Structure formats: C-alpha cells, structure tokens
Structure 1
Amino acid sequence: MKNLLVKTIANAGALWVAIWLLKDITLTGDNAGRKAITLILVALVFGLVNVVVKPVVKLLAFPLFILTLGLITLVINALMLLLTSWLANKFDLAFHVEGFGTAVIGALIISIVSWALHVVLPDDKD
C-alpha cells in the first residue's frame, strides 16, 4: 500500500511539472483543492495505464525496440500519456494533452521527473 502511495505521489509530481512546463498539457479546475484532487486522480489513472497497458504494448513492439535501439520507448510513453488524457476525459477529469508532439515532450519530462522522485522518495524495498 505504501508503495502505491509513493508511486502515485511521484506520478502526480511528474505530471505537475509537465503541466507547469508545457502550455498544451492542461489541468483545469475551480480552485487549488479541486486541482490537487484531480491531479491525484489523473496520477492514479496514469499509473494504472502504465501497469496494465504499457507492458502489453512493449511486448508487441519488441521488434521495434531492437530496430530503434530503444527509442520507440519515447513513442510508447507518449501514447500512454495520450491514453491517460483520453481516459481522464471519459472520467470527467479536467486533464488534457494537446497533440502527439506535446505528448512526446511531456512523456520525456514525466519520465525524468518521475525517476528523480523515485530516487528521493522512500520505497517498500528500503
């Protein structure tokens, strides 16, 4: 349970940085409290997408990993971010990613920030 909380906080922090840096990734809401709750819910959706969908896509794209020396990971991460945006819309969460190019840059930012936060935040393995 603690591990889920840590990963959700790391995802929320990484998503917040991407929202802050890129004008085409938006999180809207009435007030700061509502935005924070929406951000946590979007982080949970993002985590669920990465746990359920991403491994299947990576397995199916394995030949492309070899062919592109792993660069296809950027495309897969961008697609996971776009899927999160689509699901957030379906769940009436005010999170949106505008376009594939924004998703690629956003996924790169999220990957870097998430990695850094996972290094800093405690984990069940510690």
Structure 2
Amino acid sequence: MGFLLRLVVNAIALYLLTRVYGGVSFAPGADVVSILLAALVMGIVNALIRPVLLLLSLPINLLTLGLFTLVVNGVVLWIVASVTALNVNGFGAAIIGALLLTLISWVLDAVTGALGLDGRD
C-alpha cells in the first residue's frame, strides 16, 4: 500500500475510533490536518518506538502469551495523544482504544484490499 493511502486509512481509523469510543477524542476544533498529523505521528511511533517497546517487554510478553502487546499498543496510543490533538481519558482508555483501533484498521485494510486499492494483484 502506498504511503499516502496508508496515511489516509490510519487517519480514517483514528477518526472512526473517536466516533465509536468515548474514551478517545480529538480536541475541540480539530480539523482534517490535525487528524492527518495524528495519523502521521502514529505511523512514526509505530515504526520507531513500538519495536523497541516490544523488544524490551519480550519476557513479559512471552509469559502472557502475547497479551502484553495490548499494553504496548496502549502506550503507543498514549504517546501519540501526548504530542497531537488526540485526547485519551486514562491508560485504560488507551488500551481499549488501541484494541478498537486495531479492529477498525483491520476492517479498513480489508476494504481497501477488496477494492484493489492496495496495489496487490
């Protein structure tokens, strides 16, 4: 999938998350640029910080059979919220929001794949 399409899909997923779940929202007056910026920061954090967090939490992740990855994803969402117009109402809301964001992104990825927009044959 192209970078711009991935950015738009992530932005739509973040926006839908704020509509579906009340624990995550955008600041009042947030516009499309703020949503795209949050999606861009989410991509950067997922590319640079998330692998380090997963490596550092590997022992506990093995003990919990991978369930600790939900906590790592919550930390990623919390980091994104701390530097963008995204608001998260506590760490528990970040974990639930990260789980819902994963599900929403999964559905959107399936839709873009079914429509042939992902560039795969």
**Fold conserved between structures, TM > 0.5:** yes
Cα distance, 1:28 vs. partner?
2.9
Task: Give distance in 2, aligned partners of 1:85 and 1:25.
Answer: 9
Q: Secondary structure in 2 aligned to 1:26?
A: strand
Task: Give distance in 2, aligned partners of 1:75 and 1:96.
Answer: 17
Task: Give distance in 2, aligned partners of 1:64 and 1:19.
Answer: 30
Q: TM-score, normalised by structure 1?
A: 0.84
Task: Give distance in 1, aligned partners of 2:13 and 2:98.
Answer: 9
Q: 1:27 to 1:56 in 2, by over 3 A?
A: same
In structure 2, what is the equivalent of residue 16 of structure 1? 15
In structure 1, what is the equivalent of residue 3 of structure 2? 4
In structure 2, what is the equivalent of residue 91 of structure 1? none
What percent identity do the matched residue pairs reach?
Answer: 37
1:56 paired to 2:52: yes
Which amino acid in the other structure matches residue 107 of structure 1? A
1:103 paired to 2:98: no
Root-mean-square deviation over aligned CA pairs: 1.6
Runs of 4+ deviating beyond 4 Å = none
1:37 paired to 2:37: no
Q: Secondary structure in 2 aligned to 1:77?
A: helix
Point out where structure 1 has 5 or more consecutive residues left out of the alignment: 89-93
Contact 2:73 2:95 (C-alpha < 8 Å) held by counterparts: yes
Aligned positions, number: 117
Point out where structure 2 has 5 or more consecutive residues left out of the alignment: none
1:123 paired to 2:118: yes
